[in-house]
């Protein structure tokens, strides 16, 4: 093979990689779409269900989070043992059953059970592992970024389209639609995703039980995990009360809510781009991070004092989503920078668990506070959450600007792996290096400004 062809093969995805990645993006996005579609409309619908109280409505909205948090890591580890596709198929079946239960429910308890069943289809870790199985090391970062982008697109689409679809088919229809999409996703998984003959553990995307204690003791990583927990407490608690406030306090008909959410989300994405550039390129990550948390607090305070004003409510929505999207994009980057080499999968597993716990706690607590103290109390609760978060944000140590690299090293025995890790860690610009013989790769944390690329290439020429 010529040098040019070899370079093209390294930099671009193969047809098999593209087929597998885009099929899995579709499955992941459809599942997230099913969870998010009811977010802007559920609290408006749920008041008519038998036994509904504000606390139980919030619990129903966030119930998927508790089962997702409990099961996502075990399901990911199970997929190492029995294969990715059986675990993902089983998760999609559980998700479809939960959607059907929620669609047929006439009581709030029935919807809570359905939402919990939806969350029990915890396939995120197994999908990420299958993506890693299907992509070469040098393509994996790109593949994971595309998965993350698909989640953001699904979220924006759900908030904009959910109220419109609700006018046509109602919330039960939305649940039925997500059940059908889950069944279609099973077909895509089993007929569209290439077969993996020998799934392997990938420390860059999968948690490893022996690393959990190390991650849980890392105060900086746990600050970031607490951050995503609080962000999703705010999101779910806000959407317990905001749709009702928009309709009853600000005077916006529920059928028009989608026409507000979608343009604001698009504008908020455009707003956050310069700040991401400032954080990453200008190395102002902590300042941007703290500023985004403060912006969330400003949005909550506007809602506290001016939730009867439609114009100011919309301004607060723009601030909220600009900060939310910025934090949703930067928090995983911070975790990646802070996690030790070879431990990113474990750190992200803890992070994701906290994210789903936040959705559960946010729904339940937001509904409870709203039931006791109405709209003002619910938004004050959000402001208090932000105030607590600010303490941890201000005292965060600014991260080193490191990025992860994966080096394919082939078959090595433990002694050879230790020797290679020592050589790699001695190269200028390599902050940390771990060689995992079972995976045939070395995980590196690299500072590009100080990296001795020639020295790294002299050890091994193929890096991601």
pLDDT digits (tens, 9 = 90+) for 44-95: 999 889 999 999 999 999 999 999 999 999 998 898 888 899 999 999 999 9
- Which pLDDT score, from 0 to 100, does residue 198 have? 66
In a domain, 155, yes or no: yes
pLDDT at 365: 96
Do 37 and 22 lie in a common domain?
Answer: yes
10 Å Cβ neighbour count for 300?
25
Q: Are residues 90 and 107 in the same domain?
A: yes
The pLDDT value recorded for residue 417 is 83
Residue 333 is assigned to a structural domain of this protein: yes
Question: Are 292 and 304 contained in the same domain?
Answer: yes
Q: Among residues 141, 172, 196, which one ends one of the domains?
A: 196
Residues 163, 227 share a domain: no
C-alpha dist (Å) from residue 333 to 1, 7, 404, 422, 445: 36, 28, 10, 26, 13
> Is 72 found in the same domain as 189?
yes
Residue-wise pLDDT for 385-436, tens only, equals: 999 999 999 888 887 878 888 887 778 888 888 888 888 888 888 888 888 8
Strand locations in 1-127, DSSP E? none
Over 50: is that where the pLDDT of 312 sits?
Answer: yes
- 36 and 161 within one domain: yes
Is 464 within the bounds of a domain? no
**Same domain, yes or no, for 383 and 421?**
no
State the residue range of the domain holding 74.
Answer: 14-196
Question: Vertex 157, ends 65 and 305: CA angle to 5°?
Answer: 70
CATH number at residue 409: 3.30.70.100
209 vs 120, 203, 350, 436, 444, CA distance in Å?
21, 11, 11, 15, 20
Residues 363 and 416 in one domain: no
Inside any domain, residue 447? yes
End-of-domain residue from the set 149, 172, 196: 196
Mean pLDDT of 104-133: 93
Report the range out of 267-281, 342-356, 362-376, 414-428 with the highest average pLDDT: 362-376
**Whether residue 148 sits in one domain with residue 214:** no
In a domain, 201, yes or no: no
Mean pLDDT of 254-265: 88
Look at residue 1 and tell me if it is in a domain.
Answer: no
Whether residue 418 sits in one domain with residue 336: no
- Which residues are within 8 A (CB) of 268 and not within 5 positions of it... i.e. 6 or more apart? 318, 321, 322, 324, 325
CATH number of the domain within which 76 lies = 1.20.1250.20
> What's the pLDDT tens digit per position in 194-229?
887 766 777 778 888 888 898 999 999 999 999 999
Task: Clarify whether residues 146 and 212 are in a common domain.
Answer: no
Same domain? For 320 and 391 the reply is: yes
Domain annotation covers residue 414: yes
Q: What integer pLDDT is reported at residue 202 of this predicted model? A: 77
């Amino acid at each position: 093979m010529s040098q040019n062809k070899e370079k093209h093969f390294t930099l671009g995805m193969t047809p098999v990689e593209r087929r597998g990645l885009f099929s899995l993006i579709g499955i992941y996005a459809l599942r997230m779409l099913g969870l998010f579609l009811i977010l802007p409309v559920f609290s408006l619908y749920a008041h008519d269900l038998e036994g509904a109280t504000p606390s139980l409505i919030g619990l129903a909205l966030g119930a998927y989070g508790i089962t997702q948090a409990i099961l996502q890591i075990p399901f990911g580890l199970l997929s190492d043992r029995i294969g990715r596709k059986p675990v993902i198929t089983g998760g999609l079946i559980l998700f479809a059953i939960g959607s059907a239960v929620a669609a047929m429910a006439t009581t709030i308890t029935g919807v809570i059970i359905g939402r919990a069943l939806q969350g029990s289809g915890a396939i995120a870790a197994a999908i990420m592992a299958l993506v890693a199985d299907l992509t070469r090391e040098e393509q994996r970062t790109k593949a994971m970024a595309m998965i993350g982008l698909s989640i953001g697109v699904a979220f924006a689409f759900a908030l904009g389209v959910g109220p419109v679809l609700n006018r046509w088919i109602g919330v039960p229809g939305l649940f039925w639609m997500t059940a059908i999409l889950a069944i279609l996703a099973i077909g895509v998984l089993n007929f569209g995703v290439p077969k993996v003959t020998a799934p392997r553990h990938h420390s860059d995307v999968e948690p490893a039980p022996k690393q959990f204690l190390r991650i849980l003791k890392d105060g900086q990583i746990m600050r970031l995990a607490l951050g995503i927990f609080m962000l999703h407490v705010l999101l779910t608690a806000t959407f317990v009360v905001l749709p009702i406030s928009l309709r009853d306090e600000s005077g916006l008909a529920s059928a028009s809510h989608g026409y507000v959410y979608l343009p604001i989300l698009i504008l908020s994405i455009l707003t956050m781009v310069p700040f991401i550039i400032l954080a990453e390129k200008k190395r102002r990550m902590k300042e941007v991070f703290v500023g985004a948390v403060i912006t969330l607090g400003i949005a909550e305070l506007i809602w506290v004092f001016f939730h009867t004003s439609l114009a100011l409510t919309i301004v607060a929505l723009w601030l909220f989503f600009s900060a939310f999207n910025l934090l949703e994009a930067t928090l995983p980057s911070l975790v990646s920078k802070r996690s030790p080499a070879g431990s990113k999968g474990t750190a992200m597993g803890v992070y994701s668990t906290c994210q789903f716990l936040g959705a559960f706690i946010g729904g339940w607590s937001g509904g409870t506070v709203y039931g006791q103290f109405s709209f003002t109390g619910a938004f004050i609760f959000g402001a208090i959450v932000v105030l607590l978060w600010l303490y941890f944000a201000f005292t965060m140590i600014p991260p080193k600007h490191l990025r992860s690299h994966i080096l394919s090293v082939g078959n090595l025995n433990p002694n050879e792996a230790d020797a290679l890790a020592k050589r790699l860690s001695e190269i200028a610009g390599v902050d940390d290096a771990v060689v995992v013989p079972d995976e045939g790769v070395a995980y590196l944390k690299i500072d590009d400004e100080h990296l001795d690329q020639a020295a790294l290439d002299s050890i091994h020429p193929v890096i991601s």
